[in-house]
Chain A
Amino acid sequence: MRSQRSPSHPVSPGPLPSELGGAVHPVQSPWGRGGAETCQLLGSRAKAQGCNTGASSPARTGAPAEGAASGLCGPAGEPRRQRAGPGAAERAACWFQAGRRLQPPGDMHSSSLGPIRELSGRAAWVLQGCRLVPSTHLPVTRQSWLCAFPSAGLPASFCPLLSSGRRLASVASSEWSGGGLSSASWEQDSNEPAPSGKLLEAVRLSLAAQQRQADIGNSELGKMLNSFSDMGFSNTQIMQLFGLQPKLAPQTRLAVVSELLLLGLDADSTLKVLQKSPEVLRMTAQQLRHRADYLRRLDLGEGNLQRVVSHCPSIFTLSWKKIDAVVRVFKEKCIFTVDQVTEILHRCPNVLLEEPNDLEYKFQYVYFRMGVKHKAVVKSGLFQTPIAEVKNRHIFLERLGLYQTPDKKGQTQIVNPKLKEIVQVSEGDFLAKIAHSSLEEFEVFKKLLAREEGEGDQDIASEETDSASEGEGEMSDSEEGN
């Protein structure tokens, strides 16, 4: 697993600039070709990447990203290839983006300088974004770049860059802002070095409205807005971002957002996370990094994270104890393997929000009462379904005679339906295909069962507290009311 995980975040600023020859190109006019089209292209690529990060397995996402890129490239035709070698750029973007397997450099043979340009641009932007290298200090032009890397040796030269990137990614510390998210606004920046006056005005107004002293200069604010745009936020999104926790300094906001982007979330998800749990903005970079580490150790980084976050945006603010308790229940009480635990977390991220006791009960019910083993439990997505629903369906099947608890040898007289078929299908499908029963019957049954369970609870409570004194009931000769 480790070896498969591709480098995602160039984290240390130090080595990279040296690799790039110590100078990076700010996003300037050389990029300004065929304006709107590029913008759109990159923008749509952003979306493609956005969807891709939703996929759960790293291996798979490389291909669709490729496919999307080539799809985008196709209609564009010839002129595209000159410009940013979109396919290659896409791949580079992928590399910077969350956890994709790196395409072998051999692929990037076409319009060979494209990738370098793209990379340089990105690196420039990245560096600029984190304010480590003030933009004024990056005067290197494209030409100097070309001198630095002889075209023939492109693949070879590309490799060290990539390999260094890999090295960088494995180091966990960061001041990088945003793992090279698609730059929807390459074009914007190239044409207008300063953010649109309108946006600036709007943000100023919002800050003023919140009575926050605008103690940063207009140009500073402008640059920050630039960075936000670079990261892929649309203007409206930026407005929303600033709307959250308005008292916060824009710098902190930027830092937190960058950290989140570094983890591999795209702009939309970041916004969603922050909207759902704005207290994330208050977390320090340190805390965020620790959480990011922990999540990565659970193999919940990068692509998987996107999915997890959309289900459970408060994952960053959950106490470490809580997440750990859940993981421990799975490993120690339910005796899942580490791989199985990871898969459960991937499929059902909501488990992090649940009580460990409930999870244990659910597992025990399915394991003892239904006789389902670990592998099937993991594959079935059991933890997405509430326990009441599982019980309703299982006991309904059992009383219909369609499900039998295996005896101590694990045998049954009939073939039980699989847990996946019981739990993951809609109610209509369940009734039609598995239970062969009607909705009215199931509705009545659910009511009856709820009542039985309620009374069962009372019984157990009274039994546990009861002493030896019990009454003599009228017994044995009783039949049903004749």
Chain B
Amino acid sequence: MAALRGSARRLLPGGLAGLGLPPRRYRYKEKWAGTAPKISATRLALQNFDMNYSVQFGSLWPSIRVSLLSEQKYGALVNKFSDADRVSRELELLNTVDFVYESQKAARHVQWDSPVEGMRGEETAPQETHREQMTVEQTQMPSSLSTSISPNIKCYTFSKGDVSRFPPARPDALGTLGYYLLDVASLLPVLALNVQPGDLVLDLCAAPGGKTLALLQTGCCRHLAANDISASRSNRLRRVLCSYVPKDIGADVRITSWDGRNWGELEGNTYNRVLVDVPCTTDRHSVMEEDNNIFSRMRLKERQMLPMLQMQLLLAGLLAARPDGEVVYSTCSLSQLQNEYVVERAVEVAETEYNISVHVEDLSYFRRLFQDTFSFFADCRLGELVLPHLTANFGPMYFCKLRREQ
């Protein structure tokens, strides 16, 4: 058969790596191995997922799989520390929409319908009962939903089915960037955390900094502690905050590189809100990127220890929270072993070993709020799971809200 020509090189799955050549960037670096591994880590990851997730998701899995293997959809988190209005206008010109605002608007319309009827019926009733009626309404369906999610977060995305890309953010006159491009699903844990003004917030695995930045956007953090075990990644976090956040706000942020598992002893019972965004198998990254892939054989042990590490981190987060504080656990993996099992185990251990009772909050209202933007999995035992879908290629993102009780 004819020799493969230039254009035919593309025919090989995995591109040039399939020929045994390492990627172009590293071809001449001496410390790298001369040959590529026989089975690439991405292939191993994909095999692993095929085995597990086809069972877990059944007929949904092919649709998830094709989304994982296709280009991710990004959103633009507006940096209010630069010229937020100008940035918003620019983004709107691109034909994007602030999904947080839109979802809340839609919810408010729904909300006003039912309580209005209730109120009309109760007009003649005395004040107290009227107020009772309102509170009853509130518990049934949290009326002002805007108070149930963290405030002041604006994030623009393209509509469903639109595959346009955002241009990279440009610095303004002072050098701060206008917006931060990220996977929009990673904002959901931050929104679910429901930061209140004056809160002490802990971000236990903060790098590279998207969620930390979002927390700062809320403007509610009296003090934000951002930690990541890896020093290089903490540096990256620092750089991101430099580019986006002015110095005075940055003063309220403490960046550390300690082991998150020790936080119970370090700062127990301190924080109003804790975000535990644990290291996971980063499903999307694992099937696309060969570099530093957690499914590579070098990292096998690390991967096997992951659920244990995640449980310990969550436990530390629970210990670091003060009573009646809220903890949000999140991963970017679809695996039940890293999601529900970890939460259940941590709750159990907190109960048995530390005598802390933890309540798993129901987030179904939250899911309903954002169901137009994201594709949620309907059958989560605990917490919520955003599934990648070709029209809304965000996620995967699992998050679960826990409240430490008195």
Interface residues of A (CB under 8 A from B): 333, 335, 360-361, 364-365, 367-369, 396, 399-402, 405, 436-437, 440-441, 443-445, 447-449, 451-452, 456, 460, 463-464, 466, 468, 470-473, 475-482
Contacts and interface: CB of A to CB of B under 8 A. Distances in A.
B377 to A, nearest CB: 17
B207 A441 contact: no
Interface residues of B, number: 57
Nearest to A404: B13
B17 to A, nearest CB: 13
Given A368-B11, A399-B66, A445 B390 contact: yes
A451 B208 contact: no
B285 interface: yes
A473 B332 CA distance: 24
Given A401-B50, A444-B161, A481-B183, A456 B10 contact: yes
19 contacts: A333-B2, A367-B1, A368-B11, A396-B66, A399-B65, A401-B54, A405-B13, A437-B62, A441-B66, A444-B161, A444-B163, A444-B390, A445-B390, A447-B163, A468-B28, A480-B284, A480-B332, A481-B180, A481-B208
A116 B389 CA distance: 74
Contacts of B277: 482
Interface residues of A: mostly helix, strand, loop or mixed?
A: helix
A369 B233 CA distance: 39
Rank and list the top 10 A-B pairs by shortest CB-CB distance, nearest first. A481-B182, A481-B210, A476-B292, A400-B62, A399-B66, A441-B390, A399-B69, A444-B390, A482-B210, A369-B11
Contacts of B269: none
B183 A480 contact: yes
A460 B10 contact: yes
Contacts of A481: 74, 180-183, 186, 208, 210
B25 A473 contact: yes
Given A399-B69, A473-B25, A480-B183, A364 B291 contact: no
B11 A480 contact: no
A479 B208 contact: yes
Contacts of A473: 25
Nearest to B396: A480
B6 A464 contact: yes
Contacts of A365: 11
A402 B63 CA distance: 11
Interface string B170-194: 0000000000111100100000000
A471 B54 CA distance: 40
Contacts of A437: 62-63, 66
A360 B9 CA distance: 14
Contacts of B209: 482
From B1, B7, B183, B390, name the one whose CB has the most chain A CB atoms within 10 angstroms.
B390
A480 B186 contact: yes
A476 B1 CA distance: 40
Interface string B201-233: 000011111111000000000000000001011
